[in-house]
Homo-oligomer: A and B are copies of this chain.
Amino acid sequence: MKDHVRPLPSYLIQRYQGWKATTYAENRNWYRRLAEDGQRPRAMVISCCDSRVHVTSIFGADQGEFFIHRNIANLVPPYNPDGDYHGTSAAVEYAVTTLKVAHLIVLGHSQCGGVEGCHAMCTGHAPELEDKTSFVGKWLGILRPGFERVAHLPETERQTALERESVVISLENLMTFPFVKAALDAGDMTIHGLWTDIGEGGLLQYDPASGAFLPV
């Protein structure tokens, strides 16, 4: 490891120093309070790793507001306490049972490369993702049931439809977690499904009554 770990690129160090001298300096007292008193985030957001999705920017959220888990295609696997590592399930468990967040939000987005990969895999165009050793392929398998639901659509409509399925399936899978179900049933938490259009800056929310995504 000694040969590979390097000092941080200087452009990042310079930017960090800019933040330290400005945003940090302006907010130091609040950050110290957060450090001393601990976090008390109001919501958990499950979002994609995609570099174009900035949930804190979209919602003007400052430090301390959102507990954020980010993975490929904002997917939540079904509840499966088999003793293996489940990073997403662990994050949800911590947010719901320890932090007791008031809102649980799944945020999908347009042009999602993960969703595109899932579509390619499900239509036989990405054999490399079907390889047993592909973590990405295996992970995107969570979204396979979504592909079944959009397979009848014209191909041009499938990407967006599947992106929205990535939100709906995550919501459905979240319902299989006993502690999520319990918090929802007790009225201790609300759950929300969103999809944002990167290029147009749009924001739609899942309406379970109609099954559609409607503008907020």
Binding site for B on A (CB under 8 A): 1-2, 4-42, 44, 49-54, 56-72, 75, 77, 81, 83-95, 98, 100, 102-103, 105, 110-111, 113-114, 132-136, 138-142, 171-172, 175, 184, 187-194, 197-201, 203, 205-209, 216
Contact = CB atoms under 8 A, between A and B. Distances in A.
A8 B87 contact: no
A181 to B, nearest CB: 9
Given A10-B26, A40-B37, A138-B83, A71 B91 contact: yes
Nearest to A172: B1
A94 B72 contact: yes
Contacts of A18: 14-15, 17-19, 21-22, 60
B201 A31 contact: yes
Contacts of A41: 51
Q: Pick from A9, A75, A84, A175 the residue with the most CB of B within 10 Å.
A: A9
A19 to B, nearest CB: 5
Nearest to A71: B87
A198 B87 contact: no
What does DSSP make chain A's interface, helix, strand, loop or mixed?
mixed
Contacts of A65: 51
A4 to B, nearest CB: 4
Nearest to A27: B9
Contacts of A114: 94
Contacts of A139: 85-87, 90
B21 A208 contact: no
A67 B90 contact: no
28 contacts: A5-B171, A6-B191, A7-B26, A9-B26, A9-B190, A11-B60, A14-B18, A15-B61, A19-B59, A21-B21, A29-B102, A32-B102, A32-B188, A33-B100, A35-B110, A35-B111, A39-B51, A39-B52, A49-B94, A51-B67, A69-B70, A70-B70, A72-B90, A75-B87, A83-B138, A87-B139, A93-B135, A98-B113
A200 B142 CA distance: 38
Nearest to A35: B199
